Chains A and B, each alone.
Chain A
Amino acid sequence: MTAAVEITGVTKRFDDVVAVDDIDLTIADGEFFAMLGPSGCGKTTTLRMIAGLEFPTEGSLQIFGEEVGTLPPNKRPVNTVFQNYALFPHMNLLENVGFGLKMKGVAKQEATQRALAAIELVQLGGMEKRRPNQLSGGQQQRVALARALVNEPKVLLLDEPLGALDLKLRQEMQGELKSLQRDLGVSFVFVTHDQEEALTMSDRIAVMDQGKLLQVGTPEEIYERPANRFVADFIGQTNLLEGTVADAMTVVLENGTRVAAASDHAAGTKVALSLRPERAKLAPRDIAPSDGAGIDGTVAGITYLGNALVYRVALDWMEVEVRDENRPNADRLTAGDAVRVTWEPGAVAVVAE
């Protein structure tokens, strides 16, 4: 099957700033694909290159097998939902949604029918005559979506489309976008800096930082087996315990503790153990760990989250966070308690720089 988008060795420079640095990426047809990273990581530039709003400095970019490197945006079978929607303020909702069809030369009657259907699809039926400034943020978002989808793009590009919405509306729209994508079967390429959003919605995620593509994988792969330190730290929360690889099965932590952790790094490599707060457990010191590892520490502070408790545990050389469910009738630890931080084997990931 031909890939929806095939990016090979693409680099984008703005004067001497490298925005995107030699990335390879394949986005399958019908896939919900997220590009995730902090601001300035090159994710939006990559999206704009797919849209044709920027041209790659080097490399090849194909959409369904067709090289589109320097093809202008109006000649590409993709449409974009812009970050701030970019609705045309001087046109009403119907004219906004029908704009693409009009430019493509679709007959007026058919264009109107299709635009109305698209407006219906995003549940804004009856509002065709309104101007964008008469709509709420969430409604504008839907118009932007309808305006792009009505053209039946082969790939839909979304640039932080939910960024301007408040939390509740955002979660609602996440669900709607996901089911819309499933119904239409079109590839969605979705740019976000919100890792939770990326994890919830995507089939696959590409994590970027400083123009480089760090890891591509399913949400589970990215969360469980981060490719490096940055990914481990950026996706979810984690404790990074510095250490050195001793052999294929062992990592020696800074304080000398030997921990069983499989890795394929060469002995002597500086690495970090990524221990997720929810994977760590607190045990009394006098109980030897059944297996796996344990590090002694003292409870330094407790944060009450309602559904969970987060303990800050001071080790000899650093602090770690341990997250525990808020169970009823459980003995709560208090600050100053001597504890042992333990985890099951396989609960940690070894990450290098």
Chain B
Amino acid sequence: MAGNAQQLRGNTRWVLSLNAVLVYVFFYAPIALLILYSFSDDQLVGRWGGFTLDWYRAFGQNDEVQNALSVSLRVALISTLLSVVLGTMAALSLERFRFRGNRIFDALLYLPVIIPDVTMAVMMLIFFTSLDDIIGLQVTKGFTTITLSHVAFSISFVSIVVRARLAGMSETLEEAAQDLYASRWQAFRFVTLPLILPGIVGGALLALTLSLDDVVITQFVAGPGSTTLPVYVFGLIRRGVSPLINAVSVVMLAASVLLVVLSLVAQRARGGSVT
């Protein structure tokens, strides 16, 4: 009997291990292939023609790619900066002050997280068009509209992360600071801010990643001559695939992984109790 049970457990373990392996293969095989073929010296994607760095060189020399990359980076930096400031302020006001309609604001703030990208994209497009119709403000589609749209969806993510941090921080700490002669600003500067900083940094890296990754919304609000890297890649595919895409994708992948790792490190730092 005992032998049987052991046998059974052995089988179960074997099946589970196999399952784990399959899952990881399913996840990472495409990524491995992408990276592999980005070094392939062949015009066709998916055929190995020997090792080369040509595609990375092409990535460095292609003006359109370079332009898209620079737009992507500038949009990401500016939208992150704006959404971190606005998102942190939203989190502070919702968490620290009780005012009429508090809960409605609360719910509204989280809406962009669950709204489908396409809906959000159409909303932003209509919004920019009606700016012209209603108040006569002409907004050229391009860098500004992309940045504003990214701010619009990033705020929610930043404020969620910051609020989680704030919720774990006792309000008494701010009172203690004020009791020890700190003005409201000093209490924020020396007590609140350092304690929620990991949340703010985490939120910022999240916003940066989201901005760098976004295709759908950006595509709706981008104008001629100002397109971000993911949108450019998406366009490239339609014109016929070249291994250049692989190289671009690998670079983006590496950047994303780096950001996620940084974000985790930031949240782990001083991750101890804040109460």
Q: Which of B120-128, B168-176, B206-214 sits within the interface? A: B168-176
Q: Which of A96-104, A120-128, A239-247 sits within the interface? A: A96-104
* Contact between chains at A89 and B180 (CB < 8 Å): no
* Contact between chains at B170 and A79 (CB < 8 Å): no
| Chain B residue with the shortest CB-CB distance to A90 | B194
**Min distance, Cβ A15 to any Cβ of chain B, angstroms:** 11
Q: A50-61 toward B: CB 8 Å interface, digit per residue (1/0)?
A: 011100000000
Q: A23-49 toward B: CB 8 Å interface, digit per residue (1/0)?
A: 000000000000000000000000000
Q: B66: CB under 8 A from chain A?
A: no
* Contact between chains at A90 and B270 (CB < 8 Å): yes
Q: A133: CB under 8 A from chain B?
A: yes
Contact A74:B182 (CB < 8 A) given known A53-B175, A86-B175: yes
CA separation between A84 and B175, bound complex, in Å? 12
Other-chain contact of B181, A51, A87, A90, A104 (Cβ < 8 Å): A104
CA separation between A170 and B16, bound complex, in Å? 55
* Contact between chains at B178 and A53 (CB < 8 Å): yes
* Contact between chains at B170 and A84 (CB < 8 Å): yes
* Contact between chains at B272 and A79 (CB < 8 Å): no
Q: A62-105 toward B: CB 8 Å interface, digit per residue (1/0)?
A: 00000000001110001110111011111000000001100110
What are some 25 contacts across the A-B interface (CB < 8 A)?
A53-B178, A73-B175, A73-B178, A73-B179, A74-B179, A74-B180, A74-B181, A79-B180, A80-B176, A80-B179, A82-B179, A84-B172, A87-B176, A88-B176, A88-B177, A88-B191, A90-B194, A90-B195, A90-B270, A99-B177, A99-B182, A100-B180, A147-B180, A148-B179, A148-B180
Q: B105: CB under 8 A from chain A?
A: no
CA separation between A51 and B272, bound complex, in Å? 30
Residues of B within 8 A of A72 (CB): 178, 183-184
Residues of A within 8 A of B182 (CB): 74, 99, 103
* Contact between chains at B181 and A103 (CB < 8 Å): yes
CA separation between A73 and B178, bound complex, in Å? 6
Other-chain contact of A99, B172, B190, B194, B273 (Cβ < 8 Å): B190
List 17 additional A-B contacts (Cβ < 8 Å) besides A84-B172, A148-B179.
A52-B179, A53-B179, A72-B183, A73-B175, A74-B182, A80-B179, A83-B172, A86-B176, A87-B176, A89-B274, A90-B194, A99-B182, A100-B180, A100-B181, A103-B177, A103-B180, A103-B181
* Contact between chains at A89 and B176 (CB < 8 Å): no
| Chain B residue with the shortest CB-CB distance to A76 | B179
Q: B186: CB under 8 A from chain A?
A: yes
User: Which of A51, A74, A78 has most chain B Cβ within 10 Å?
Assistant: A74
Q: B187-211 toward A: CB 8 Å interface, digit per residue (1/0)?
A: 0001100110000000000000000
Place the interface of chain A in its size category: 20 to 34
CA separation between A346 and B167, bound complex, in Å? 56
**Min distance, Cβ B260 to any Cβ of chain A, angstroms:** 25
**Min distance, Cβ A101 to any Cβ of chain B, angstroms:** 9
| Chain B residue with the shortest CB-CB distance to A99 | B180
* Contact between chains at B272 and A133 (CB < 8 Å): yes
**Min distance, Cβ B72 to any Cβ of chain A, angstroms:** 35
CA separation between A53 and B195, bound complex, in Å? 21
**Min distance, Cβ B24 to any Cβ of chain A, angstroms:** 38
CA separation between A82 and B170, bound complex, in Å? 12
**Min distance, Cβ B46 to any Cβ of chain A, angstroms:** 52
**Min distance, Cβ B201 to any Cβ of chain A, angstroms:** 14
Residues of B within 8 A of A274 (CB): none
Residues of B within 8 A of A87 (CB): 176
**Min distance, Cβ B49 to any Cβ of chain A, angstroms:** 56
Q: A11: CB under 8 A from chain B?
A: no
Residues of A within 8 A of B178 (CB): 52-53, 72-74
CA separation between A34 and B274, bound complex, in Å? 31
CA separation between A103 and B186, bound complex, in Å? 8
Residues of A within 8 A of B172 (CB): 82-84, 86
* Contact between chains at A133 and B183 (CB < 8 Å): no
Residues of B within 8 A of A79 (CB): 179-180
CA separation between A87 and B172, bound complex, in Å? 9
Contact A86:B173 (CB < 8 A) given known A53-B179, A74-B178, A74-B183: yes
**Min distance, Cβ A45 to any Cβ of chain B, angstroms:** 13
| Chain B residue with the shortest CB-CB distance to A150 | B180
CA separation between A26 and B261, bound complex, in Å? 59
Q: A141: CB under 8 A from chain B?
A: no
CA separation between A21 and B268, bound complex, in Å? 48
Residues of B within 8 A of A342 (CB): none
CA separation between A51 and B170, bound complex, in Å? 18
Q: A238: CB under 8 A from chain B?
A: no
**Min distance, Cβ B166 to any Cβ of chain A, angstroms:** 14
CA separation between A73 and B183, bound complex, in Å? 9
Residues of B within 8 A of A84 (CB): 170, 172
| Chain A residue with the shortest CB-CB distance to B272 | A133
* Contact between chains at B179 and A89 (CB < 8 Å): no
User: Which of A86, A99, A104, A147 has most chain B Cβ within 10 Å?
Assistant: A86
| Chain A residue with the shortest CB-CB distance to B171 | A86
CA separation between A88 and B272, bound complex, in Å? 12
Contact A82:B195 (CB < 8 A) given known A74-B181, A103-B181, A103-B186: no
3 smallest CB-CB distances across A and B, nearest first, come from A100-B180, A86-B176, A103-B181
* Contact between chains at A51 and B186 (CB < 8 Å): no
* Contact between chains at A89 and B195 (CB < 8 Å): yes
